[in-house]
Structure 1
Amino acid sequence: MVKRAIMVAAAVLLCCGAALSADKDDKEMKVGFVYVSPVGDAGYSYAHDMGRKFIDGKDGVTTAFVEAVAEGPDAERVILNMARKGYDLIFATSYGYMDPMLKVAQKFPDIVFMHCSGFKAAANMGNYFGRMYQARYLTGMVAGGMTRSNTLGYVAAFPIPEVIRGINAFTLGARAVNPDAVVRVVWTKTWYDPATEKEAAKSLLDTGADVIAQHQDSPGPQEAAQERGVYAIGYNTDMSAFAPKAHLTAAVWNWGPFYKEMTDAVRNGTWKSGAYWYGMDKGIVDISPMADVVPERVRARVAAVKAELIAGTFAPFSGELRDQSGVVRIPAGKSMTDAELLGMDWFVEGVVGSTQ
């Protein structure tokens, strides 16, 4: 009888444990997203929102977002509001949200916070980004293979490591196929301002640039290129519909799998704070289909390097690398570490412009 009672009790405990586990697994998760620009139908916030939609409604996940949130105090207000509403996981998708998110995270230790493109972390706050410089290198190869003036223009938002790193990778890719290519940079000091971005592109076109690249959220620079009858390289999403005659390719994001991975980890209790920096091998970054005008010889070279990036046999920031003043920054046989890449504040040889 005693043995039977023990067995029954054990069975009850197992059933209870299974029920508790099921309750935990079945708990509807609330996941919030904060965007720096309007979602629209293209661009940076649009790419993140496609990732949000990838997880929304799956496995009991409910998502919400707030768009066009200014960096600074307004971001803190929005993140705090989500935390107070009991969100289980909150993604803040712009660099300037880092300190506001950290401040809120310290007040809500039971909520997981994830910040995109920054470097600060806490026990319940991690940071994430993608190795977009890999895709930038490939798009630089396309630009270098298509230019006739050997002058490429780059409309850039803010002089922070993320943007500088992308400009450098683009330049290295361009000069790998065309050693005479130079990249001229104009800073807009905005993530999203279509009119300002377009005017910046026009200023680069006036200097003789015949391919325009961008680290901006709108298709404004590509539209400017099309109006002048030259080419453009997009960013964030495939914006070919906005400038079909100019668009060559774009460096693009695919956030869906990453957002699912983080959501699953929070749900099953395996999430850990840290820096998540996935690359082309994980499918987080890629390039959009190349335009028909891109020659087969360029396509073949890009495809070969892409395969090496995915296999991990090629690192764009490998020496010998010189800065724009000719000083060797990375000696032959050496590659930049992640820490060096994340803190990059100098331009490589071939870039015309200031990091200020």
Structure 2
Amino acid sequence: MNSDSLNRRKSLQTLAALTAAGTLGSWAPRALAQKPLTVGVIYVGPRDDYGYNQAHAQTAAEIKKLPGVKVVEEENVPETSAVQKTMTGMIAQDGASLLFPTSFGYFDPHILALAPKYPDVRFSHCGGMWTEGKHPKNVGSFFGYIDECQYLNGVIAGHMSKSGKIAFVAAKPIPQVLRNINAFTLGARSVKPGITCSVIFTGDWSMAVKEAEATNSLADQGCDVFTMHVDGPKVIVETAAKRGKMVCGYHASQAKLAPNAYLTGAEWNWFTAYKTAIDAAQAGKPHPNFLRGGLKEGYVKMSPYGSMVTDAAKKQADGIKVQMVAGSFDIFKGPLKDNKGATVIAAGKVLKQTDPVLEGMNYLVEGVQGSF
């Protein structure tokens, strides 16, 4: 734990006195114009994980360059009451009035426990399911339609796979993860209808040993193109490359880790969401409670293609990407069955990215081999 973290922990001892004195509720929109906006960014893992945390850290580095913005950060904060202590320390010690607690498990109960206590502090959570009328107005949720990029990953995988078996190493079967698995599979099956995607869930966001075991197991099963949804893809990328397999990355670019195996990847561009929340705070406007966007809105992007990707693969993926940016391509449309044979989207029905049904996805599509 660094000295800043230790000082934040010590500051909790004085917090009760500050609260009793009524000083913590003194921040108001007019104060934001008189001094820099202090923004706190909290990571569940290391900032250099080649994955989820690094994608947020890259954005934190960018917002530090914005006028009138001061950034404080803390990494390796677990999804426990520890994050409440970190957030409280940033508020009490650093004067943070806008927080970006980035991990999924920070939302409930931790952000929801603190937000009512600090109504003048804004909480922007990545991936949280903010609901109007249910959650505090000073809490917001932002996320990107990265399933668009995972679909494009799947298109590339479909072209490049020789075995007709692709693989997905995932952390937990939450809707966002299932949506990515399904999009990757549907992208591949748009190229090769008979292709299958085998999935293994490790059980948590960062489990290096299990991620390596899952990658090796899937390689043993004949899968030759891998992608993933874990916090740090480094182990999966390197293990797959050592086994002579190909990889589509996730969160940030992992091309440097395996230049001869990296095909492309689905990357976040969190600056768009961060800047929107910061602009609202600096202007004293209401906190943006629900932010979503895809390729068109600049929330996500694709990694450059590796040298081994064929021209035919690039042409098809690029063509679909143009349609996605134009808003004329839909990933989830009927007829669509799950991997148990039940119809989940009826013929003729199309689910747009903004459809709330997609926010609660709870199935794996036909072609996915695995369960949860």
TM over 0.5: yes
Contact 1:156 1:215 in 2 (8 A): yes
Name the structure 1 match of 2:310. 295
Q: Are residue 87 (structure 1) and residue 96 (structure 2) matched?
A: yes
User: 1-side partners of 2:220 and 2:286: how far apart?
Assistant: 50
Query: In structure 2, do the counterparts of structure 1 residues 41 and 221 end up closer, same or farther at CA, with 3 Å as the change threshold?
Result: closer
Q: What is the DSSP-based 3-state SS (H/G/I as helix, E as strand, rest coil) of the residue aligned with 1:220?
A: helix
Amino acid at match of 1:115: H
Quick one: distance in 2 between partners of 1:200 and 1:68?
Answer: 24
SS of residue matched to 1:180: coil
Q: Which residue of 2 aligns with 1:346?
A: 363
The question of whether the paired residues in 2 share the 8 Å contact of 1:164 and 1:344 is answered with yes
Aligned length: 336
Q: Shift in Å at residue 274 of structure 1?
A: 2.2
Match of 1:239 among 234, 238, 254: 254
Q: Distance in 1 between matches of 2:320 and 2:344?
A: 23
User: In structure 2, what is the equivalent of residue 104 of structure 1?
Assistant: 114
Give % identity.
38
Aligned to 1:70: 78
Specify whether residues 104 and 23 from structure 1 end up closer, same or farther in structure 2 by C-alpha distance, changes over 3 A only: closer
Unaligned runs of 5+ in 2: 1-28
Could you tell me how far apart the structure 1 residues matched to 2:138 and 2:31 are?
23
Q: Distance in 1 between matches of 2:92 and 2:282?
A: 19
1:197 equivalent to 2:211? Answer yes
Larger Rg: 1
Residues 51, 257 of structure 1: 8 Å contact kept: no
Give distance in 1, aligned partners of 2:49 and 2:297.
Answer: 24
1:242-297 CA deviation, whole Å, 9 max, x = no partner? 11111111100111232122101111022334221111111111110111111111
What's the offset of the Cα at 1:77?
1.7
Q: CA deviation at 1:327?
A: 1.7
**Residues 232 and 246, structure 1, Cα contact 8 Å, conserved in 2:** yes
1:118 aligned to which of 128, 131, 138: 128
* Contact 2:161 2:225 (8 Å CA) reproduced: yes
Alignment correspondent of 1:161: 175
1:325 maps to 2:340: yes
Does the alignment pair 1:176 with 2:186? no
2:36 corresponding residue in structure 1: 28
Equivalent-residue separation in structure 2 for 1:26 and 1:282 (angstroms): 32
The answer on whether the counterparts of 1:198 and 1:223 sit within 8 Å (CA) in structure 2 is: no
CA shift at 1:60, angstroms?
1.3
Distance 1:128 1:38 in 2: 21
Q: Deviations over 1:14-56 (max 9, x none)?
A: xxxxxxx997535201000111110115211010011111111
Distance 2:262 2:45 in 1: 22
**Residue aligning to 2:201:** 187
- TM-score, normalising length from structure 1? 0.91
Unpaired segments ≥5 residues, structure 1:
1-20
Residue deviations 1:177-231 (CA, integer Å, cap 9, x gap): 1111111000111212333212211111011101111112131111111111110
**Which moved further from structure 2: 330-339 or 209-218?**
330-339
Is the CA contact 2:336–2:347 (under 8 Å) kept in the aligned structure 1? Answer: yes
Partner Cα separation in structure 2 for residue 22 and residue 33 of structure 1: 23
Give the distance between the partners of 2:253 and 2:326, measured in 1 at CA.
24
- Secondary structure of 2:169's counterpart equals strand
State the distance in 1 between where 2:360 and 2:182 align: 13
Contact 1:34–1:66 (CA under 8 A) maintained in structure 2: yes
Q: 1:235 and 1:150 mapped to 2: Cα distance?
A: 21
The amino acid of 1:333's aligned partner reads G
Please tell me the residue identity of whatever aligns with 1:267: Q
RMSD of aligned alpha carbons: 1.7
- Determine the C-alpha separation between the residues in 1 that align with 2:98 and 2:270: 15
Which residue number corresponds to residue 47 of structure 1?
55
Task: Note the C-alpha offset of 1:83.
Answer: 2.4
